[in-house]
């Protein structure tokens, strides 16, 4: 059995593009992604539009099993605000020095 035997016959993809035996590298393009990317559009009238896009640093990616419960950011924010009200507020604590220090011992 060759590696191409498990490619379905009705698949339009040529065997050279079968990536089923490949593994990705986590974070390979992370630094480049953080730098953003530039898109240049050449219009039919001869003008050019160039726009630089940077990633949204406040974006949070939800796991697929969590996404089914939160269809949009409004739903996530509503749930988190409900949880925040359950967190007890911390009282400010006053730090005291030890008794030995205060007495000059």
* Bigger pLDDT: 1 vs 100: 100
- Where helices occur in 1-105 by DSSP H, the ranges are 30-35, 64-67, 73-84, 99-102
* Element spanning 3, H or E: none
Query: What mean pLDDT, rounded, does the chain reach?
Result: 81
CA atoms of 36 and 51, how far apart (whole Å): 11
pLDDT for the residue 16: 81
pTM confidence score: 0.36
Model pLDDT for residues 49-93, shown as the tens digit of each residue: 999 988 887 888 888 899 999 988 899 999 999 999 999 887 776
């Amino acid at each position: 059995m060759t590696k191409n035997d498990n490619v379905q016959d009705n698949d339009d993809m040529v065997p050279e593009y079968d990536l089923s035996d490949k593994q990705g590298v986590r974070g390979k393009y992370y630094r480049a992604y953080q730098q953003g990317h530039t898109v240049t559009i050449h219009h039919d009238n001869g003008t050019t539009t160039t726009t630089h896009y940077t990633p949204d640093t406040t974006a949070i990616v939800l796991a697929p099993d969590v996404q089914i419960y939160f269809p949009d950011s409004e739903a996530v924010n509503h749930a988190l605000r409900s949880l925040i009200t359950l967190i007890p507020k911390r009282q400010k604590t006053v730090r005291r020095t030890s008794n030995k220090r205060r007495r000059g011992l």
